[in-house]
Structure 1
């Protein structure tokens, strides 16, 4: 599962152990159980009424799964609160949090991102939790001062499904906006202090259980009347033998508990009341300086635990926590008796928390020192580690500081600039970082200056101001180069320099900078940076033609990112890998990778990656001539890019739309886009972007017959890409330049360009072939050239063959498209179940076929893969006809009506042989079924495999050609049936392995309909029911299978099935 960026204390998210002295209050348990049909249950009473004990008892007496969350004051921070809320649910339901934690770790603002976060979380709960469950939140009153938390809980209640029953325990009634509406809908119930108060009989039961004494009715009633049924009074009486009545609680705890302890225990109790929880190591760090010789901390902890001094052991007992009321009392006494010790204890607590990266605890503790400078220093030190994973929390800390403090500390101004950059507000970020850099140059703090310079360089890079960014990077490298403590910063500066070089068209230099950065990050074991550098280096390697190296780097990066569950960087990496697949002509891989990347980008709200991926899909569909889909993709990309700072994406989209218009011969549209880009180039010059523009502009002038202008532009583009090391774009420029030379009558220059192209390549690659295909109209005359004609004609023929494959490519892509709606195929064929053919949106009926025999001939053509003569076809379909003339006449008649029904080009005739034309734009469910299964077997990710298996199975609407009984049909029906049954087995197993138990059982039902004796399916069902805790259904299934075997085959279940039954069900 994705790891939370905020450290999670296990003791806050597990149900506390039920202590022996806890009394089960059946009256209240039954009432609570009766409330569990409600979506919200409120327990509201002041301290000491036994709310927590009652909920622990409920958790131990309910069959429902229970999620537990114990709050503390640190949870007032919304990012921390959500981290614990998700952790609590994930503790009981593994898999919950896979998506939502990624969103949480990359939260920009709670106002803008809370909805997406809560939707993701509640969707995960909907997908993974089918049964009713309890979600208990204890001590909610600690968050009364945080209205944003109330809003989060309120929205969670609105979004979560009805199977969630939330119980909130608080000293006050929670301020939830929709409680009134929920009350009206009868979705809320609760208990108050009067109902929680002990009754005489419960007090008598408490005494009998814990003291083995009988308390008379009179005494019980008297004590209840004096205490108002307050359970804490009862507990205190139990521990001391003294009755409590109408007495101040803290005074009582002082006289009867604290003052009764030895002096060294008394000191230990007071000093350890300041932290939320403590262990021996923590005591040594924080309390050690108060002692000349450190005592045995474990012995002290054991003493207070043995004496039952209101302390709870946590985890394996190495950590302790006081009862909240007792801790509150101890802290009040500490302030009166030992106020001089509070400051040094808190200061050492801050250092201790900071040393282990517990920044939230360090901040909360530091606030108690009432020292704004110390707090500001802590926030500065927390900045770099928290920027990537706790942005909202960090920004809240900065905003809570006095404005004068922020203005006086350039490190905080620099941090605010980094936060603004990460939130996408690049102009504001740049202004803040300008101020920080100016102040730091005056202060002479070189380490902070280098950090601010790198932050500003990154901001300038995203703004497209590459040269200015380079200057900052060089200054930072000069400072950081001589300091070992700044190695990480030095590596980051090299990374930014490499990315700048890439955008400036200096790809070869980029490799050096990125690989040096990667080497340093590997030395420092900075995992996240390593994954990012691997992907970025792969991107540049691909750009200069090192394809295999690039693929290996992408693979290594994605393996790391998937393990880290880093969806943001995963989306960027998948986009770059998909672009590489596209450049290699691996269209299906490109489509799948784009789609996977788009899902990662949307889940993690990585808008920049989302815009780039949609742009890439537009390029893919444009290249395969699916123009409507390309327009959809580009339009979606433009919409997302409008919310993304920086110019590269929006600039690239303009060129992409211009190129699409050129492919469609929409010259006016293309010219509008190109003029728009020319104006933008004046604002933000970049060699690579300039190259893209002059290439498109050159193609435009070629298409309108202005050949010499085209030649000048295309030559400039070729130079830009050559200097940049952009091999693919360099080839495109040469192909179109060759066409311009030919159209301008400059045959010799065209020959030279062609020869140079052939010398530079060992063999023609996809990039070259697709450019040849698109420019073939203007290149065709070169086929007859006496010098290069033979070699050129071979290359042109290969490009034409690529063009002929386009319908089949579009057909394959249509099956993989999720995000963009591709136009339907002209011909749709269904052979599973009842045969059906639709052409141009109209069903082909029997009157169109004229006879059923014509329809059978059509499906036979579909079934056979190799071309056949009419005699071979007759031998299979019309074995009763022996006369050659009769065969010829019947075949001629049926092939005529077949073509009339579904199209002239559906059946191709070549040298006496007939075959189905698989180059058509068609969709056939049998082919799609087998393709999905092929993808499922190749997929590495288990959920991706499940998706493909599910798509394949959904296509099967019955046996293959269920109305026909020819031998060739029966053979194919049996083959497909075996494949279908195997797919059901595999999908059921995958659902079981991923704990999608209900889906597993549904697939098992389908499998039973195919094969009633499939023992593997019965075994999977037994395991699924056992995992659900439904032994009754498991036993029923086992008995059904046992009876089936005995009655119909005279057999017994296998030993393996018997063992599964006995281990999981019959126990």
Structure 2
């Protein structure tokens, strides 16, 4: 679990706007324009108003702003991320649950930046549906944090477009991928050139804060002398406008001479009481009255009215900033704070030491260990640092805070470590965790030797013995490891109280037996360890033991017990949100369920394993999960999809140089290529696998290659050679008890023997296979290999001595085939990691507005607002592209420019969130639908068919195109959208549709295809029920068909419709046409 610092709320709340803060519309407008970028850098030397600008913006504009005031302690990545997440959560309470769970799932020294970036960006995407700003104030204070630079660099490339980061800093940023972000037009900024105060702003400053009007000339003089440095201007204002002189110019950005100036013109002008309080309180960084009482009051044995003193420095405007929602906490401007601390340490070293001692005690109670360590290091208190390491060292090791401990050890003299067994043991654990096993073993040997000389605490001795047992096991020294674990356990014979070290000793014994193949002994010891941990109510340790118990049960073939153990462990890791453990367990469960032929649950869990592997950034687990999915698909007779999964897994395996996985995938792909009769490719893959196994000097890997070689030899038709090879492989795998591979060998061997007319030998093997298949439980491996060989088995089904066995196998094959077909249909609907069908975007604009993504209908909740959906269709209807302003005229015609900017940002973000970030592209100020996507759009198809028909010289082909077009028109264009522009488009498409129907009617009438002409005419009347011409056409067709009753019926319908719609009668022309058709021929 990653380390969490106590959260100081004052760091993550937007500072209160001070009354003397001068708003600078010029800069606010520049900043507002810059918020089209993801990263905005405000870089300038100290004192140019960077923070004030952001406070002004945050309190003047409607943008949601999350704030993080940085300090040097935040250079630690874990601490930084904890505050970063908390700052956003402060503004958006629904955010942060998944991000914090991701932090908790990792140890501090194994923080996976990719995993954390993925977790936090997903959290933002799922829980924040509007554009917002995160301000990192004073980023230069953590400029040594290269891990933080790496995090932000990756984060900015992956976070959704609604996120905007504003960084204020005295120095330029050094993000690794900053040039790439710049090239992608994702970076903007303000520099010293923009931030310097202009003469008109100086005039307003003096008018606002001191009711003093200065001339334009004077303002220009001040601007020239100060070079626009705001701190110099504020200092001048603080001194009552006595004149700037050359002070600000001399001290401007570098701080040279600033301390002397602050001493003479600020500090020395205060009362002695205020001077003392300023110096004392500067050591606290940020403070409130109660903190002053507990630290300064107790350290110096003082009784003061701390509240009054705080009010006085605020009233006197002594470069103090209110923090916290109620302004109860204060901190000084960093320049003034640095000056006060320097003066306090120089003039009052004894009082400084005493106050810092109390400050360390205060933070110790809060368990803010980083601050505690920095304070004691500053004080040079080595003994206290040693006590601190001894007290919390084991806890830090358990929680993975190895780097932090290692940094602390750097401050402890080596001679003090050598004579302290606790320190030696903790340092040994650091080395073991870093992979320096021999060094760790030497340190543990020294620690145990010292303890045996002087130590009386048996628990501490046992703890070191267990640590050494683990180190010895990792070094492959199993007997020595077992001896240490047993010795540690023996020390508890006289201790009745339950202790986790005893449980760890039992676990150490169990793991030793497991790795030596003594499975029953391993199971017994693991169960004892689990029982003790459960008695101690240690849920995390119990969950860890359950995973190991599951692995032992699975190896023993007790699949139900293994699955039960995995599920129990999974419940805990799900509860605390540990993605790494969940990905491992879901993969274990998926593989186990696959073996049990529980294909549907296997599929669900393997997809979950992949999801959690991606979430945690665990590339290795991604590779193994993909391999497991490939294995499942192969056994579901989905070879193409299986090869896709193996291919993706291979990319990962090679990138992380996991040679075991590379070999596994090569052999798995070889098998499929053999079954597909692609023997040349199979041979190439197998040669690669043999070479790899040879380099590793692994007999098992070489034998696995030989099995595939034997299968390939069989398909080449060399039965004699195949028989020899299968027999040799059978002997090896029988000796090591690998039953799955052994079954594959025996089934192929039985077929080879049958085809070689060695009936008796083959009958013996087939008998055992048939018996295994009729058991209540059959391993999927058995069923799968039988299915692979179904045609070969049919070819020998009539042989005497084996016919009855082959019949049983073929019956099982038939049942297996039905089962996997059913499973395939179900998986096809849900597969996302390696889909059975390519994803497709289907868009419906006629009749009912619908968008399907990967065969899933996007609901209102997916779009979040109808406006975001309407914006999508607006871009679809304007393939040439639209500017933001053109969109605004249609969707928000009455909005101001500021409102338009905000509404457009949120609408396009929600649209991309629903349909995909690449659905609409931006180029040269135009937003366009990305027609490179794999999509179908009925409106576009309608237009394309009409256009092709218009240009088609072949009349019959043109008719087919027109018919295709009218089939696509299911009703009005976007019927549920009211905007004027859409109404115009709706009418335009309707007229095209009617015109097309008229052309088809004319064609069929000309061809004397009266029935077809009548059907088209009915469509015209359905869509335009008051069209008198269409009624006349219908009557004419019925006349041609000799149906007088229909003519009368159509005429009556015409009368009723015109009366109902307009209160009119049919025209004289229509009446005459009707009468001419019904009059008997003379």
* TM-score, normalised via structure 1 length: 0.63
Structure-2 change in CA distance of 1:364 and 1:36 (3 Å): same
- Return the alpha-carbon distance in structure 2 between the equivalents of residues 527 and 331 of structure 1: 47
Shift of 1:164: 5.8
| Correspondences of 1:551-700 after superposition (within 5 Å) | 551=563, 553-627=565-639, 630=642, 633=645, 637=649, 640-641=652-653
Shift of 1:802: 0.8
Structure-2 change in CA distance of 1:405 and 1:728 (3 Å): farther
Residue 323 of structure 1 is matched in structure 2 by 333
Larger Rg, first or second structure (1 or 2): 2
Residue 275 of structure 1 is matched in structure 2 by 284
Shift of 1:364: 3.0
Residue 11 of structure 1 is matched in structure 2 by 10
Residue 68, structure 1, aligned to residue 67, structure 2: yes
Structure-2 change in CA distance of 1:606 and 1:749 (3 Å): same
Residue 989, structure 1, aligned to residue 864, structure 2: no
Residue 290, structure 1, aligned to residue 299, structure 2: yes
Q: 1:745 aligns with which of 757, 760, 768?
A: 760
726-735 vs 79-88, greater mean Cα deviation: 726-735
Residue 438, structure 1, aligned to residue 438, structure 2: no
Q: Deviations over 1:881-935 (max 9, x none)?
A: xxxxxxxxxxxxxxxxxxxxxxxxxxxxxxxxxxxxxxxxxx8x9xxxxxxxxxx
Give the secondary-structure state (helix, strand or coil) at the position aligned to 2:74: helix
Give the secondary-structure state (helix, strand or coil) at the position aligned to 1:368: helix
Residue 816 of structure 2 is matched in structure 1 by 802
- Return the alpha-carbon distance in structure 1 between the equivalents of residues 712 and 509 of structure 2: 35
Task: Confirm or deny: 8 A CA contact 1:440 1:448 kept in the other structure.
Answer: no
Shift of 1:65: 3.5
Residue 371 of structure 2 is matched in structure 1 by 361
| Correspondences of 1:12-51 after superposition (within 5 Å) | 12-36=11-35, 41-51=40-50
Task: Confirm or deny: 8 A CA contact 1:71 1:137 kept in the other structure.
Answer: yes
Task: Confirm or deny: 8 A CA contact 2:624 2:661 kept in the other structure.
Answer: yes
Looking at both structures, which has the greater relative contact order when contacts are Cα pairs under 8 Å and sequence separation is at least 6? 2
Shift of 1:628: 5.9
Task: Confirm or deny: 8 A CA contact 1:614 1:633 kept in the other structure.
Answer: yes
Structure-2 change in CA distance of 1:537 and 1:178 (3 Å): closer
Task: Confirm or deny: 8 A CA contact 1:376 1:405 kept in the other structure.
Answer: no
| Correspondences of 1:335-484 after superposition (within 5 Å) | 335-350=345-360, 352-354=362-364, 356-370=366-380, 385=395, 394=404, 397=407, 426=435, 429-444=436-451, 470-471=482-483, 473-475=485-487, 477-478=489-490
Structure-2 change in CA distance of 1:675 and 1:154 (3 Å): closer
Q: Deviations over 1:597-651 (max 9, x none)?
A: 1232244232442343233234324434545655665566566456779997678
- Return the alpha-carbon distance in structure 2 between the equivalents of residues 132 and 978 of structure 1: 26
466-475 vs 575-584, greater mean Cα deviation: 466-475
Give the secondary-structure state (helix, strand or coil) at the position aligned to 1:745: helix
Task: Confirm or deny: 8 A CA contact 2:65 2:133 kept in the other structure.
Answer: yes
- Return the alpha-carbon distance in structure 2 between the equivalents of residues 441 and 173 of structure 1: 51
Shift of 1:70: 1.7
Q: Deviations over 1:226-275 (max 9, x none)?
A: 87766556767877879585677656766787678888876665444323
Structure-2 change in CA distance of 1:219 and 1:678 (3 Å): closer
Shift of 1:579: 0.8
| Correspondences of 1:187-266 after superposition (within 5 Å) | 188-192=188-192, 195-197=195-197, 199=199, 202=202, 213=211, 215=213, 217=215, 231-232=230-231, 250=259
Q: Deviations over 1:181-208 (max 9, x none)?
A: 999989644242894447576565566x
Structure-2 change in CA distance of 1:684 and 1:991 (3 Å): farther
Shift of 1:571: 1.3
Give the secondary-structure state (helix, strand or coil) at the position aligned to 1:17: coil
| Correspondences of 1:122-201 after superposition (within 5 Å) | 133-144=132-143, 166-174=165-173, 188-192=188-192, 195-197=195-197, 199=199
Task: Confirm or deny: 8 A CA contact 1:465 1:684 kept in the other structure.
Answer: no
Structure-2 change in CA distance of 1:708 and 1:47 (3 Å): closer
Q: 1:333 aligns with which of 314, 338, 343?
A: 343
- Return the alpha-carbon distance in structure 1 between the equivalents of residues 683 and 182 of structure 2: 62
- Return the alpha-carbon distance in structure 2 between the equivalents of residues 251 and 483 of structure 1: 66
Aligned length: 868
Please list every run of 5 or more consecutive structure 1 residues that lacks an aligned counterpart in the other structure. Answer: 823-922, 926-950, 963-973, 1007-1024, 1049-1067
Task: Confirm or deny: 8 A CA contact 1:558 1:573 kept in the other structure.
Answer: yes
Residue 962 of structure 2 is matched in structure 1 by none
Structure-2 change in CA distance of 1:256 and 1:311 (3 Å): farther
- Return the alpha-carbon distance in structure 2 between the equivalents of residues 601 and 498 of structure 1: 28
Task: Confirm or deny: 8 A CA contact 1:463 1:645 kept in the other structure.
Answer: no
Q: Deviations over 1:212-239 (max 9, x none)?
A: x455659985988887766556767877
Q: Deviations over 1:424-458 (max 9, x none)?
A: xx5xx323322322332333278777666656665
Task: Confirm or deny: 8 A CA contact 2:102 2:119 kept in the other structure.
Answer: no
- Return the alpha-carbon distance in structure 2 between the equivalents of residues 622 and 1002 of structure 1: 40
- Return the alpha-carbon distance in structure 2 between the equivalents of residues 198 and 796 of structure 1: 90
Structure-2 change in CA distance of 1:577 and 1:119 (3 Å): closer
Shift of 1:393: 5.2
- Return the alpha-carbon distance in structure 2 between the equivalents of residues 354 and 579 of structure 1: 47
Task: Confirm or deny: 8 A CA contact 2:27 2:194 kept in the other structure.
Answer: no
Structure-2 change in CA distance of 1:486 and 1:263 (3 Å): farther
Shift of 1:29: 2.9
Residue 863 of structure 1 is matched in structure 2 by none
Task: Confirm or deny: 8 A CA contact 1:7 1:358 kept in the other structure.
Answer: yes
Residue 52 of structure 1 is matched in structure 2 by 51
Please list every run of 5 or more consecutive structure 2 residues that lacks an aligned counterpart in the other structure. Answer: 248-256, 877-898, 911-973, 984-1021, 1023-1082
Give the secondary-structure state (helix, strand or coil) at the position aligned to 2:407: helix
Give the secondary-structure state (helix, strand or coil) at the position aligned to 2:23: coil
Q: Deviations over 1:78-122 (max 9, x none)?
A: 554455445545655665895798489758989x96678668867
Q: Deviations over 1:48-87 (max 9, x none)?
A: 4433222101112234343433211112335544554455
Shift of 1:335: 0.9
| Correspondences of 1:782-931 after superposition (within 5 Å) | 797-803=811-817, 805-806=819-820, 809=823
- Return the alpha-carbon distance in structure 1 between the equivalents of residues 137 and 497 of structure 2: 44
- Return the alpha-carbon distance in structure 1 between the equivalents of residues 873 and 608 of structure 2: 25
Task: Confirm or deny: 8 A CA contact 1:988 1:1003 kept in the other structure.
Answer: no
- Return the alpha-carbon distance in structure 1 between the equivalents of residues 745 and 613 of structure 2: 32
Task: Confirm or deny: 8 A CA contact 2:842 2:853 kept in the other structure.
Answer: no
Task: Confirm or deny: 8 A CA contact 1:697 1:710 kept in the other structure.
Answer: no
- Return the alpha-carbon distance in structure 2 between the equivalents of residues 747 and 40 of structure 1: 72
Give the secondary-structure state (helix, strand or coil) at the position aligned to 2:585: helix
Task: Confirm or deny: 8 A CA contact 2:2 2:400 kept in the other structure.
Answer: no
Shift of 1:572: 0.6
